[in-house]
Every structure is written in structure tokens, then in C-alpha cells.
Amino acid sequence: MSAPPVSHAVLCRFGELFLKGGNRGIFEQTLAKNIRRAVADVPGARVETPHGRVIVHAPADRIEDACARLERVFGLVSISSVVETAADVEAIEAAAVTAALAAIERDPARGASFRVQARRSDKRFPLSSLDLAARVGAKVAAATGMPVKLVGAALTIGIEVSSTSGFVFADTRAAPGGLPAGTSGHGLLLLSGGIDSPVAGWLSAKRGLSLDGLYFHSPPFVGEKSKDKVVSLARVLASWQALRTLYVAPFTDVQKRLRDAGPAELAVVLYRRMMMRIADRIADRTRAMSLVTGENLGQVASQTVPNLTTIENAARHLVLRPLVTYDKMETTALARRIGTYDISALPYEDCCSLFVPPHPATAARVQDAERAEARLEAGVDAEADAVADATEKIDLT
Ligand code: ATP
Ligand code: MG
């Protein structure tokens, strides 16, 4: 009757990029690069970028692997597993019938009703979109016995026609949207084992930041399990291309000296200010232009506006706090979606709760912090330099 399907592929759709006017080329190139990286370990996968779309070709039995990775690429709004045919009505009809039968076999409920949605990017195609949908619809109805239902159909067969190909699909899956990671520059995520900072990293990667992570480790007060946990969180973020490298900074010694230098109520603020100084140094070395934290307004005593002001005062880089307005429930829901929640929920020790009284200061002042820091024999800068120099690097890719 007609030519067999040419090949299997994943059709990738992007949305927000269209808003970017003159920068569009850079965004599309970064997106294509990120997509290539995402499917690099899928055998036989090949990425093509014919005008305004991205198509990932793969052997039929690798399409699901490719989809699982593409669902995690920022900048994509949705993906569809497609059959690519010639730009030929009969080939498209045959592929649509096959796709409909396969969809019903996977889920019989979808056999209740159907519709066909067609789009042409090449207006030289001999049929209008509506005429193509009607012709394909008639063939699918004849082959399956399904009734057509234009609104609320159980199954939608999608068709997109370009100058060289037809793409036929029965499913569309959501992708995270946002901007391709890297298009907003590079940042450094302060990553702890808690629920918040992984989500903060994910949200900033979704706005186009590429990130490295920095974890402050305080053995033996904090066990190796806590570090393993942060490494696991980092790997989940890496699967979203939201993290490249994890830096682990040995924080124990400076933390003890800070504890001894100031009043216990100030301890958390002093630890955090030192974290900022060390993060600044790692950011300089990794060319990060901002620091990202999971801080949130008013969630805990250390996160009041006065305390955040005093903490930020120690940082040279812009501090981004994507969760500043989030409810814990919103953050938790997102952590589940990202896949970090179950790891974050494992028991772990938080280095900032070490040596801290039940009622830490809620309005620490910069001058009080500086007075305590002046008691450090080596001075804050030498202390921060020493930790930055001793920081370990873990490659996540
Ligand atoms: P999280 O759930 O991310 O730990 P939190 O709400 O528990 O956040 P805090 O523990 O007060 O808040 O930490 C605030 C932020 O400081 C964290 O989100 C993280 O960005 C950073 N931070 C805290 N402890 C560490 C650490 N040991 N290593 C790296 N960053 C840290
Ligand atoms: Mg925490």
C-alpha cells in the first residue's frame, strides 16, 4: 500500500526560546549541545537540528532510554516518540494506523475515541493541515473502528510535516521547560544534605545557570554517610545537567575556631559567613558569577532578614536564593518531582547545628560578627584560603 516507516526518533519541542529575539541562535545551540550530552550514552542516538526543531534519532529499542533523558533537559517543553516517514500522504497514513493500533494495545482505554491533529511547516505540501487530518482520520477509523471525537478524545494522533519528512506520534510527554542550562552563565551551589539546597540548584539550572556544587564537610562531627548523601544528591542533579562537579571543603578546623571565637548565639551566622568566603574563592576558580543557596525567609532562626543580611555581607558574589518565598510544602513537592526527596529525607547531621544553643541570635549584626572574627589568629581571609586550597573535587559526569 505505501512505504514502510523510515525511522524512529524523538521530536523535541522548545517554548521560551522564541522570546529571546537576537539571542535565539545561542539558546538553540546550547540546547542542542545539552541534548547531545543527555543522549551521549544511548547507543545509536543521533541528534539533528533541521530548522527550528531538534530530532533525536535512535534505534526503536533505545527510544525509551532517549525519552527518559530528554525529559530532564531544561529548555524543552515537551517530547514525543515519533515515527519519521517520507513527506508523503500514504506513508503518513500507514504510520498513523500503526501508531493508533500500538497505542490501543498498550492501553485499551485509549481505543474509546480519537482525533488527528496535523501541522505543516512546509506549505508546499499538497494538502492543508485540515485536509491531511481528515484523510488520515478516515484511514485510522477504517482500520480501528474507533469513533472520531474532536474534543476530549481518548487518543490524539499528532502529525507534523516538514519539507522532507512526516512525523507521526500518539503521545506527548512533558519536559521541564525553562532555559537551557548554561545560557545564564555559571554559578556555584552551596549544597547540603537537606531538602532545600538541591531544589534551589534545580530551579536555578532551570533558569539557565550551569552549576558546580560545594559541600562543607565537618568530620568527625558529621559522619561519612552525610558526605555520601550529598554525593548522591549531586548525582541526581547531574542527571538533570544541573551540576557538573562537586567540591567538598574540609570545614571542621575553622568551624571549631569560629565556635571558640564568638558567643554561641552567633555560631550559625559565623559558620555561614565563613562558608560565603570559601564559596567566593571556589567561585573565582570555577568562574562562577553567583552563589546559590537553599535559604528561605523565616523558615529557621538563622534565616531572618537581619541574619541573611549579615551572612551576605561576607560574600563578594551575588547570592541567589531561589526558594526565598517557597513554603516547605512547595519545596517538598518539587524535591519529590526532581527525585532528591528520598535521599534528603535520610537521617543526616547538619554541620551548622554543631555547638549551637537552642536559641541562636535572630538579629545578628555585622559588627558583632566582625568582632568575633577578629579573634581568629590567622584572620578570616587566610582561614578561607586554607580551606579553599584543601577542597576536594569530585567529577560527576
Ligand atoms: P537545606 O535543606 O538545603 O540544608 P535548610 O533550610 O536546612 O536548607 P540551612 O541548613 O539553614 O537551611 O542552610 C541554608 C543554606 O546554606 C542551605 O540551603 C545551603 O545552601 C547552605 N548550607 C548549609 N549547610 C551547608 C553545608 N554543610 N554545605 C554546603 N552548603 C550548606
Ligand atoms: Mg540544612
Distance CA 222, CA 218 (A): 5
Given a cut of 60, whether residue 157 has pLDDT beyond it is: yes
Cell numbers describing residue 224: 561519612
Higher pLDDT, 255 or 303: 255
State the distance from the centre of ligand 2 to the C-alpha of 101, rounded, in angstroms. Answer: 51
* Sheet of 210-217, strands arranged across: 318-320, 290-292, 186-190, 210-217, 245-250, 392-395
Ligand 1 atom nearest the C-alpha of 230 is 28
The upper half-sphere exposure of residue 99, i.e. CA atoms within 13 Å in the direction of its Cβ, equals 31
Ligand 1 contact, 215 CB (< 6 A)? yes
Ligand 1 contact, 255 CB (< 6 A)? no
Which of the 8 DSSP states describes residue 40? Answer: T
* Torsion from C-alpha of 30, 31, 33, 37, nearest 10 degrees: 130
State the distance from the centre of ligand 2 to the C-alpha of 239, rounded, in angstroms. Answer: 22
The pLDDT of residue 75: 94
The pLDDT of residue 103: 96
* Cα of 56 vs its chain's centroid, Å: 19
Q: Using alpha carbons, list the distances in angstroms from residue 311 to 70, 204, 212, 385, 391.
A: 38, 20, 21, 18, 21
189, 192, 317, 334, best to mutate for ligand 1 pocket (most atoms within 8 Å of CB): 192
Cell numbers describing residue 300: 529557621
User: How does pLDDT run across 288-347, given as a tens digit for each residue?
Assistant: 999 999 999 986 777 899 999 999 999 999 999 999 999 999 999 999 999 999 999 988
pLDDT-derived band of residue 123, with 50, 70 and 90 as boundaries? confident
Which amino acid, one-letter code, is at 156? T
The pLDDT of residue 130: 95
* Residue range 205-233: mean pLDDT, rounded: 95
The pLDDT of residue 272: 96
The pLDDT of residue 20: 58
- By the 8 A CB rule, do 80 and 64 touch? no
The pLDDT of residue 357: 75
- Least distant ligand from the CA of 255: 1
- By the 8 A CB rule, do 82 and 75 touch? no
Determine if the pTM surpasses 0.85.
yes
User: How does pLDDT run across 33-60, given as a tens digit for each residue?
Assistant: 999 999 999 999 999 988 677 999 999 9
